[in-house]
Amino acid sequence: MRSITAAVLAALALFAASATADPVVRYSTCDHAGIESSTNNRHVNYLATQGSCTFAQHVARLWVHSHSCGLSHCNVWEGTTAIAYCNYATINTPEYTNRCHNSSSVGIIIGWKKLH
């Protein structure tokens, strides 16, 4: 009887812990048509965000033209304000993935390929 009670209590504790755990972070895919730079040889082929697609597209357009962004980490600048920080690229040749976030920790995923 004790082992059944212990098992039930353990299951209830596990259920309670999972109910209070952080929710799964969800990303929405965004339109990425035309986001590319022939100067930097990059074409965005995937774009997703936890927030607004309008903001993610804006960041991606600035990111794709930034010479400091790409394989290395960088700040994405709008004038004198850094509006997002992007990490090093994850390389899955011939595709690359950069993860960015704004000051509120809203995530953006930029998937890209080299044009040539």
Task: Decide if pLDDT at 47 tops 70.
Answer: yes
Q: What is the residue-averaged pLDDT of the chain? A: 83
Q: In the chain, where do the E strands start and end?
A: 28-29, 36-37, 42-49, 74-78, 81-86, 90-92, 95-101, 107-114
Whole-number percent of the chain with pLDDT over 90:
64
Task: Decide if pLDDT at 34 tops 50.
Answer: yes
pLDDT tens-digit readout, 52-66: 999 999 999 999 999
What is the rounded CA–CA span in Å between residue 69 and residue 58?
A: 15
| Helix, coil or strand: residue 97 | strand
